[in-house]
């Protein structure tokens, strides 16, 4: 019987208030352009992925930090509205994270992140959430919170927990962390910075899923490489596509048979990413 400590997906990561301006084109360095639209929304890789997992049907909890401010209250409400458990969302003495985002009419984007409370998330906060992390079917993480937080969460994962890392923004990763990872989901740029899929497998990762934008994705395991075809769609704004992919992938892994269903889960995730 499920309890308030049993979740399909537990996400450890960032939560930002996104400040989004729509422009005809993105500015060049030193240039000012006018926006023809503006809105604010719940963002941050962790928040986006948690909400995507919940929308895909997974019972989802979020572990992160926001400030004691209006933006933090806004993010809490956004989580609750999408059915994400926020019992382990800490309120800290730092401003809630922000992301300044420009989106052009041809669906390109430019993003500047102000981490704020996300960089105050501590190992102690992770230890306080140890029980839900260890009991999760899937633990999903990114790199917009301190690396020691990510490492601690991975170490706390239960024997039956599938550990997924979206290595963004790209950073050097220690072998001690990689050894805990069942799935890593870099884009092509991040894969190169991490030394390539084969190197990641040799360092202990179970499976590498490389997202390739309009070309779909590539699954690399010790058994070989499988291509995941893209879902045909005309892009409008690609800002959250990768996060939707990771959230949907984690939900499908939790709900449809674990790592044995990885290829099937990737097809569902590709659709979610394309439609984000």
Of 227, 217, 234, 215, which is closest to residue 275 (Cα–Cα)? 234
Higher per-residue pLDDT: 239 or 109: 109
Model confidence at 272: pLDDT above 70:
no
196 inside domain: yes
Higher per-residue pLDDT: 115 or 1: 115
Amino acid 137: pLDDT: 98
31 inside domain: no
Model confidence at 222: pLDDT above 80:
yes
* pLDDT one-digit tens code per residue, 153-197: 999 999 999 999 999 999 999 999 999 999 999 999 999 999 999
Contact 135, 7 (CB under 8 A): yes
Amino acid 267: pLDDT: 76
pTM for the model stands at 0.91
Model confidence at 236: pLDDT above 50:
no
Beta bridge partners of 224: 221
Beta carbons within 10 angstroms of residue 29's beta carbon: 4
Distance CA 172, CA 195 (A): 10
Amino acid 98: pLDDT: 98
Distance CA 265, CA 183 (A): 12
Taken as a whole, the chain contains a residue count of 276
Amino acid 213: pLDDT: 79
Distance CA 222, CA 206 (A): 8
258 inside domain: yes
Q: Considering 85, 125, 182, 243, which one is annotated as catalytic? A: 243
- To the nearest whole number, what is the mean pLDDT of the chain? 92
Amino acid 2: pLDDT: 53
Q: What is the mean pLDDT of residues 1-30?
A: 92
* pLDDT one-digit tens code per residue, 190-216: 999 999 999 999 999 999 999 987 788
Q: How confident is the model at residue 107 (pLDDT cuts 50, 70, 90)?
A: confident
111 inside domain: no
33 inside domain: no
Q: How confident is the model at residue 124 (pLDDT cuts 50, 70, 90)?
A: very high
Is 81 a residue of the active site?
no
Q: Which domain holds residue 174?
A: 9-15+43-95+117-275
Number of structural domains the chain divides into: 1
112 inside domain: no
Higher per-residue pLDDT: 218 or 119: 119
124 inside domain: yes
251 inside domain: yes
The lowest-confidence range among 108-112, 134-138, 189-193 is 108-112
């Amino acid at each position: 019987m499920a309890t308030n400590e049993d979740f399909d997906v537990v996400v450890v990561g960032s939560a930002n208030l996104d400040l989004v301006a729509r422009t005809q084109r993105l500015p060049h360095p030193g240039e000012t352009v006018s926006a023809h639209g503006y809105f604010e929304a719940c963002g941050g890789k962790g928040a986006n992925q948690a909400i995507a997992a919940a929308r895909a049907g997974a019972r989802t909890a979020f572990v992160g930090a926001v400030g004691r401010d209006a933006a933090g209250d806004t993010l809490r409400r956004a989580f609750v509205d999408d059915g994400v458990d926020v019992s382990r969302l800490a309120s800290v003495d730092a401003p809630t994270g922000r992301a300044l985002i420009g989106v052009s009419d041809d669906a390109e984007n430019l993003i500047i992140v102000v981490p704020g409370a996300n960089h105050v998330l501590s190992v102690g906060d992770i230890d306080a959430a140890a029980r839900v992390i260890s009991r999760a079917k899937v633990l999903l993480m990114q790199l917009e919170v301190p690396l020691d937080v990510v490492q601690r969460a991975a170490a706390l994962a239960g024997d039956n927990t599938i550990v997924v890392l979206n290595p963004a923004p790209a950073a050097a990763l220690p072998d001690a962390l990689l050894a805990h990872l069942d799935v890593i989901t870099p884009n092509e740029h991040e894969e190169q910075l991490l030394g390539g899929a084969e190197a990641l497998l040799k360092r202990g990762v179970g499976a590498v899923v490389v997202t390739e934008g309009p070309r779909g994705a590539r699954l690399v395991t010790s058994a070989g490489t499988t291509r995941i075809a893209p879902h045909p769609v005309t892009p409008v704004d690609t800002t959250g596509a990768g996060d939707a992919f990771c959230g949907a992938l984690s939900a499908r892994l939790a709900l449809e048979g674990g790592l044995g269903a990885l290829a099937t889960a990737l097809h569902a995730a590709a659709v979610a990413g394309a439609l984000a």
